[in-house]
Chains A and B, each alone.
Chain A
Amino acid sequence: MEFVDALINILNSTIRVSVPLLLACLAGLYSERAGVFDIGLEGKMLAGAFAGAAAAAVFASAWIGLLFAILVSVGMALVHGFASITHRGNQIVSGVAINFIAAGSTIILGQAWFQQGGRTPSLPPEGRFGEIKLPGADALRDVPVIGQLYSGLLSGHSLLTYVAFLAVPFTWWVLFRTRFGLRLRAVGENPAAVDTAGISVAWLRYRAVICTGILTGLAGSYMALAQNAGFVKDMTAGRGYIALAALIFAKWKPVPAMFACLLFGFLDALSIRLQGTPLPIIGKVPVQLMQALPYVLTVILLAGFIGKAIPPRAGGVPYVKER
């Protein structure tokens, strides 16, 4: 019984840690499938988290916070688009610039507006996305395994968590069952084919980049408005990069992306759980080693276990009509 509780506990925190990864990963998927590499997921998430927390604090509303998070994040995505689609700049440089701008400006603006050392004020309950209890969760709590799973694992998450997991089949459907998805995939593989078919390459890529902005905005909101109660400096802590790793790991496909994010989330949750707990045989392990574990495993997995990950063929290359 204790084991089942412990397991559900770890799985539960796996879900919580995975959500921002998953949203960022899907965000990257839209952009990269359209041929625009986006190393700036991290920055957009961070900016979204800050904007969301600031707006939620001022207006005392989670929804207004979400709106601002998405607006700011989409705005930054459009800057990336302007640099790399319209002006055919280097997408990596543009993405890195976005990250720097986000890292610096969130602290400066936070300090200027709230004078709390770059933090935003702690959010009241109405400024956050609270936990949603699924119907019957309490009643089933004592039914062994199934009831425990339902009430302990499926129920009790914030709205954004459910949105994140529903975004997976939705993204799959958009990508493979709609005209927009077909064109999006095509423009990431061979933009010239899209151009000669009479479709605007730039407009299509801008739309993809906007999708990315919306999802990174959601990811930032989740961190600032659901997982935590406000913005703390550098709160994304490299999740944007882990999301990129997950995207490669998943070979740019939505459902594998979800599993990749869950795996990374699980490693993260496990490392938190095992901190300070003596392991059998090895004994007590330094905290730092446990904390490094997800990253070490990331490197090992990416280096050895995914086989050949073929990125969208036109990825990273600005489209120039040939002479």
Chain B
Amino acid sequence: MAQAAIELIGINKSFGAVRANRDIALEIPRGTIHGIIGENGAGKSTLMSILYGFYQADSGEIRVNGKPTHIKTPNDAIAAGIGMVHQHFMLVENFSVLENIILGAEGEALLKNSISKARSELRRLEQEYGLEVDPDALIEELPVGLQQRVEILKALYRGAEILILDEPTGVLTPAEADHLFRILQQLKEQGKTVVLITHKLREIMAITDNVSVMRQGTMVATRKTSETTVEELAELMVGRRVLLRVEKDEAKPGAVKLAIKNLTVKDSRGVTMVDDVSFDIRAGEIVGIAGVAGNGQSELMEAVSGIRKAVSGTVMLDGTPIDLTGQADPGELRDRGLAHVPEDRHHVGLVLAFDESENSILGYHDKPQYLKGPFLNLDAIQKDAQEKIEKYDIRPANPRLKTANFSGGNQQKIVLAREIEQDPGVLIVGQPTRGVDVGAIEFIHKRLIAMRDQGKAVLLVSVELDEIRSLSDRILVMFAGRVVGERGPETSEGELGLLMAGVEHKEAAE
């Protein structure tokens, strides 16, 4: 085995009373892709931030290429050949690619020489690794995939031999993610060491050589990827057995609950985002909408839940039309039994600064059970919140805690509990498991199936193909605002992928 590029020995780090890293030991061989996997809050990002000098460990030792190294600031890390691609890109949006790349590595006081030097260096890196990007483009004009490439180039420009990527695929489409993996593979072939932090098991299996699992601040295991399985990793992460495939019975579709006919929606720039879409959802079935993000799924959901204006078309809920002028009262739709779990729980689904209990009734706060005359019945609200917390296993189990202090998975459970517990006839769910831990994903999936089995109609929009395939009874694929195909849940990922990419079925068959 090659010499270790990075060795961590006995790393400890606490934030107040929270022990984010406990006695971590880790060895990453040079020239490999090493995955670090764990649920949100397991301490992965903290550990990597220590390695990058963003935080300092309370105790422990870092060795780079066998040499004990003190990393107190990002500068020390850069000097030791460590580069990091952060989850939220550290780029100046209205700067050009070149400006971003030289920031902090300008060399001299005047920019003239450093810019031309960076330009030729960039061309060399481009050729060596196939990382093409227009050096004069502004960051804000680049798609996320390219922005990430700029982050990688930034690290390589600084001479990084070890590249840490923190949840790199969270913001990427499946195609962009595949492209990223090819780049990482190429970096590895050139002798670089890659550390990949993620909570997605599929990525670990697809690309890493070794994988280390973290749970609650400790390093629980390190495995060779070829010698482990998804099931084993999931169990190590969560600490118990996890069902990755949802078990469900045959659907028993009933009457049509939601009928969408010739729906056309434009966005604020006047671009047609939903183009003449028609479909029905029946009681007792889950209809999944697959598609690469940005192909109109978001607008479709918003129009159907009455918060976005539709240009034309009708949506019937239990045979009565929904107001599509964008002026619909979401409260009235809730009363009619249409619940909506929005894609963006931080901005639309929750008020992060509110208590958990306040969020758990938001939108239903004028129901009689939460009122005492004109005032809120705080005791009833607390009791109600406590019941939901128990039923949905929301942690920490404290309805008075600020919502921002819950993890992504638990925040999502708060929203789901709020909407599902009102017993709606139709549930519209967007990205139910985005940024959610494996354990919570299992729980959320079971809930959605239970909804279906109770005879509710569920519209599921997700960019996670696995999720769509395992939950849906029917799959509609959206591309460029149109429904380009309807398939059953047994359809292969490859076929759906082609549809999502806009390749017509006829072509695909050839």
Contacts and interface: CB of A to CB of B under 8 A. Distances in A.
Interface of A: 176-183, 185-186, 189-190, 192-199, 313, 321, 323
A179 B108 contact: yes
A179 B114 CA distance: 9
Given A179-B110, A196-B52, A198-B75, 4 more contacts: A178-B111, A179-B106, A179-B108, A190-B93
Contacts of B111: 176-179, 181-182
Interface stretch (B83-91, B193-201, B260-268, B317-325): B83-91
A323 B49 CA distance: 10
A196 B106 contact: no
A178 B84 CA distance: 26
Contact of A186 (B95, B105, B110): B95
Nearest to A312: B94
A182 B74 contact: no
Interface in B70-117: 73-75, 78, 84, 86, 88, 90-95, 99-100, 102-106, 108-112, 114
Contact of A189 (B86, B92, B102): B92
B364 interface: no
Given A178-B110, A179-B110, A323-B15, A197 B93 contact: no
A190 B86 CA distance: 14
A52 to B, nearest CB: 31
A185 B92 contact: yes
B40 to A, nearest CB: 13
B54 interface: yes
11 contacts: A182-B103, A185-B95, A186-B92, A186-B99, A197-B74, A197-B103, A197-B104, A197-B105, A198-B73, A198-B75, A313-B94
A196 B74 contact: yes
B102 A182 contact: yes
Interface in B400-436: none
Which of A189, A194, A198 has the most B CB atoms < 10 Å from its CB? A198
Given A182-B103, A183-B103, A190 B91 contact: yes
Contacts of A176: 111
Nearest to B106: A179
Nearest to A181: B111
Nearest to B102: A182
B435 to A, nearest CB: 16
B93 A186 contact: no
Nearest to A199: B104
B15 A196 contact: no
Given A178-B111, A199-B104, A193 B54 contact: no
A179 B103 CA distance: 8
Interface residues of B, number: 29
Given A197-B103, A323-B15, A178 B92 contact: no
A45 B50 CA distance: 44
B54 A321 contact: yes
B113 to A, nearest CB: 11
Interface of B: 15, 52, 54, 73-75, 78, 84, 86, 88, 90-95, 99-100, 102-106, 108-112, 114
Contacts of B104: 183, 194, 197-199
A195 B108 CA distance: 19
A196 B92 contact: no
Nearest to B78: A198
Nearest to B55: A321
B92 A193 contact: yes
Contacts of B73: 198
Which of A179, A186, A193, A195 has the most B CB atoms < 10 Å from its CB? A193
A193 B100 contact: yes
A104 B100 CA distance: 45
B128 to A, nearest CB: 22
B91 A195 contact: no
Given A194-B104, A197-B104, A198-B73, A182 B99 contact: yes
Contacts of B78: 198
Contacts of B88: 192
A193 B114 CA distance: 19
Contacts of A195: 54, 74
Contact of A196 (B86, B95, B114): B86
Contacts of A313: 93-94
Nearest to A180: B109
Nearest to A187: B92
Contacts of A185: 92, 95
Contacts of B95: 185-186, 189
Contacts of A321: 54
List the 9 closest pairs (A to B, CB-CB), nearest first.
A197-B104, A198-B75, A193-B90, A179-B106, A198-B74, A196-B90, A189-B92, A186-B92, A190-B92
Contacts of A180: 109
Nearest to A192: B90
Contacts of B93: 189-190, 313
Contacts of B102: 182
B112 A177 contact: yes
A34 to B, nearest CB: 13
Which of B75, B86, B94, B102 has the most A CB atoms < 10 Å from its CB? B94
Contacts of B114: 179
Contact of B94 (A189, A196, A323): A189
A296 B93 CA distance: 35
Nearest to A190: B92
Nearest to B46: A323
B86 to A, nearest CB: 7
B83 to A, nearest CB: 10
B91 A193 contact: yes
A23 B52 CA distance: 41
A176 B111 CA distance: 8
Contact of A197 (B90, B94, B108, B109): B90
Contacts of B15: 323
Contacts of B92: 185-186, 189-190, 193
Contacts of B112: 177
A240 to B, nearest CB: 27
A194 B94 contact: no
Nearest to B16: A323
A199 B114 CA distance: 17
A179 B110 CA distance: 6
B110 A193 contact: no
Which of B74, B84, B92, B93 has the most A CB atoms < 10 Å from its CB? B92
A144 to B, nearest CB: 43
Nearest to A323: B15
A181 B110 CA distance: 9
Contacts of B109: 178-180
Contacts of A194: 103-104
Contacts of A196: 52, 54, 74, 84, 86, 90
Contacts of A186: 92, 95, 99, 103
B159 to A, nearest CB: 13
Contacts of B99: 182, 186
Contacts of A179: 106, 108-111, 114
Contacts of B106: 179, 182
B418 to A, nearest CB: 27
A60 B452 CA distance: 89
Nearest to A322: B88
A309 B484 CA distance: 42
Contacts of B86: 196
